[in-house]
Amino acid sequence: MPDVWIRLDAASRRRNWWWSGFLTVLFAGMAAIPASRPDPDPWWYIAVIGVCWLAAFIYMVNRCYGRTLLTAEGMEFHTFFSRRKIRWTDITRIEQRSHRVRGGEWIDVHAVRARGLSLRIPGVHTTRAKDADFDRKLRRIRTYWTSATQAVPG
């Protein structure tokens, strides 16, 4: 099978940047609260808000630009900060996971390895219930995994 990249499309990346902007405005508003109070030293509060914003922003950027290369041997995860390779023979199943929070729901895909350890597959997540692009990516990953594990004897 040819090597295939799995990543977010331009519309999904743009939507992710809008949410990152909303998050920035939200944290900026929270950091502005101590400026209106007579507290003589609000810097500790602003620093905590800044650190929380930075962690959330890094997570959003990493999630936006994460991608996966499917090869005959396995998957290569490429994120903003790391690279990782996993062989198909190390994976016991590919599962779709749904996460519900007060603000909505998101769905992503995990590669479950032996001993139950799982890794989120970069470039495959959605917030829509019936997302054809997400379903196509999930089918492609499962097809690569199935063909690789059936080709291995035993």
Nearest to 8 by CA among 95, 118, 109, 137: 137
User: How many whole angstroms separate alpha carbon 144 and alpha carbon 113?
Assistant: 16
Q: What is the pTM of this model?
A: 0.79
Per-residue DSSP letter, 84: E
Class at the top of the CATH hierarchy for domain 4-151? mainly beta
pLDDT of residue 154: 53
Ramachandran bin of 90, using left for φ above 0, alpha for ψ from -120 to 50, beta for the remaining angles: alpha
> According to the model, what pLDDT value does residue 76 have?
95
**Per-residue tokens: 112:** 């479950």
Residue 11 has what pLDDT?
A: 85
The answer to whether residues 45 and 34 touch, using CB atoms and an 8 Å cutoff, is yes
Task: Check residue 142 and give its pLDDT.
Answer: 94
- Give the contacts of 4 (CB within 8 A, at least 6 positions apart): 69, 70, 140, 144
Per-residue pLDDT of the chain (154 residues; tens, 9 = 90+): 789 999 988 888 888 889 889 989 999 988 887 766 776 677 888 888 899 999 999 988 888 888 999 999 999 999 888 899 999 999 999 999 998 877 778 889 999 998 888 999 999 988 887 889 999 999 999 999 999 888 655 5
